Amino acid sequence: MRLALGISYNGQAYEGWQSQPSGRTVQDQLEAALAQFTTTPVPTVCAGRTDAGVHGLMQVVHFDTDLVREPSSWVRGTNRYLPPDIAIQWAQLVPDEFHSRFSAVARRYAYVLLQSPVRPSVDAGRVGWVFRPMDGDAIQAAAAHLLGEHDFTSFRASSCQARTPVKTMNSIRITRKGDGDTCYWRFEFEASAFLHHMIRNLMGCLIQVGQGAQPPGWMRDVLAARDRDAAAPTFSPDGLYFLGPVYDAHWGLPERTAAYDWLP
């Protein structure tokens, strides 16, 4: 039978999602815990790989198994062997044709940014940081150029393995919490798929516009250039969260976890 899991994790201590020889990845920790719970190797397939330092609120994986357990047993039993910064949130049986990656119709990310004269402390590693005030109207105007289907080569890492840089940005939602020089910004992106470092490269450009280093129309020019050198440097991974994949309703999978309510 095929099982899907929803997983949340704090990515600070890990070298990203995908398994590495060091064993210090989220996938390595998950598969080691599943092996202990089932007493057999359990290779998993994820909805979207995340980089070192990036967090996940609802990563989705699937795997095939002959072991029959209640969904709640998969959650509690596997979490027993996971480190405290990784936890399975839900487990659900799915049809054999379900695929955590290929069945996804879109993916969602959020970036949480602290604007403050003082660097983060209790939320260090969980938020990005800028110390100069930002203009929300300018950011919104710049983000509007990114909506729709585009060639996102200018925001693509050189190591990206995607077959095409053409993606469809469905929505960008930008909100601010707090007043004055100190506040939190939340940038939420939904697209058909994302390129390697795409969100962090977009954030670098949006921040330059927000701080007045570039006008909003510069984002259109960067997009049209199809050249990574035209964009801003890659921004920090600290405030980046994989909110999870979007699936058609007929799969009946959860759309959010409790961690969504914690995130600023």
Amino acid type, 189: F
pLDDT digits (tens, 9 = 90+) for 76-89: 999 999 999 999 99
- The residues, any chain, with a CB within 8 Å of residue 156's CB and separated by 6 or more, are 162, 165, 195, 196, 197, 198, 201, 228
Q: Which of the residues 28, 51, 96, 221 is marked catalytic? A: 51
Q: Determine the pLDDT at residue 158.
A: 83
Region for 252 from its dihedrals, namely left if φ exceeds 0, alpha if ψ lies in -120 to 50, beta otherwise = left
**Kind plus residue range of the DSSP H or E element containing 62:** strand 55-64
Q: Which of 98, 33, 30 is nearest to 64 (CA)?
A: 98
Q: What is the pLDDT of residues 7-56, one digit of tens each?
A: 999 999 999 999 999 999 999 999 999 999 999 999 999 999 999 999 99
Q: At what angle do helices 26-38 and 71-79 cross, to 10 degrees?
A: 110
pLDDT band at 118; cut points 50, 70, 90: very high
- What's the whole-model pTM score? 0.95
Q: Are 67 and 38 in contact (CB under 8 A)?
A: yes
Q: Does the annotation count 51 as an active-site position?
A: yes
End-to-end CA distance of the chain: 37
Q: What is the pLDDT of residues 222-260, one digit of tens each?
A: 999 999 999 999 999 999 999 999 999 999 999 988 888
Count CB-CB contacts under 10 A for residue 130.
17
Q: Would you give the distance in Å from CA 259 to the centre of its chain?
A: 13
Domains of the chain and CATH, by start: 2-103 (3.30.70.580), 106-241 (3.30.70.660)
Question: What is the pLDDT at residue 264?
Answer: 76
Specify the pLDDT at position 176: 95
What integer pLDDT is reported at residue 29 of this predicted model? Answer: 98
In this prediction, residue 115 has a pLDDT band, given cuts at 50, 70 and 90, of very high
Q: Classify strands 2-9 and 86-94 as parallel, antiparallel or unpaired.
A: antiparallel
Interval 136-192: pLDDT, tens: 999 999 999 999 999 999 999 988 888 899 999 999 999 999 988 899 999 999 999
Average model confidence (pLDDT) for the chain?
95
User: How large is the angle between the packed helices 198-210 and 218-225, nearest 10 degrees?
Assistant: 150
Tokens at residue 95, please? 């049809």
